[in-house]
């Protein structure tokens, strides 16, 4: 992987994942450009040949909490087919309560009517 700026924190794990991915055999040479961004700037870029390499690399970067981007304009993607942004870039966006239900169930569904008396 070619560094374009100073390496961001945690780059050692990324470079190891990239080196391991490059050793995986591929049936087709897709020549996909992958990039790493931090603070809106491209920090590093590299080329991967096929699905197995991209899948391996992506999985390991997601484990390292890098965010994956596949779609975007040429400017947003910095000319890359696959872009990963550093975890620090979106750390402040994370919600401390990731649950989708934030209110008590009674507030969501209203008060339930008392159960009907049992038939005898």
- Per-residue pLDDT of 1-37, as tens digits, reads 888 888 888 889 999 999 999 999 988 788 889 999 9
Compute the chain's Rg from CA coordinates: 22
Domain ranges of the chain: 2-65+76-92
pLDDT, greater one: 32 or 73: 32
Mean pLDDT value across residues 37-64: 91
* pTM for the model: 0.70
How far apart, in Å, do the first and last CA atoms of the chain sit?
A: 77
pLDDT given at position 74: 75
Instruction: Answer whether 29's CB lies under 8 Å from 76's CB.
Output: no
């Amino acid at each position: 992987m070619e560094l374009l700026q100073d390496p961001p924190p945690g780059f050692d794990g990324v470079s190891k994942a990239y080196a391991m991915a490059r050793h995986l055999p591929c049936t087709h040479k897709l020549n996909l450009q992958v990039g790493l961004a931090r603070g809106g700037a491209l920090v590093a870029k590299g080329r991967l040949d096929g699905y197995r390499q991209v899948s391996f690399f992506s999985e390991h970067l997601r484990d390292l909490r890098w965010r994956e981007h596949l779609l975007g304009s040429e400017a947003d993607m910095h000319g890359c087919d696959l872009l990963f942004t550093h975890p620090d870039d979106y750390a402040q966006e994370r919600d401390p309560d990731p649950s989708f239900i934030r209110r008590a169930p009674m507030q969501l569904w209203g008060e339930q009517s008392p159960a009907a008396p049992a038939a005898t």
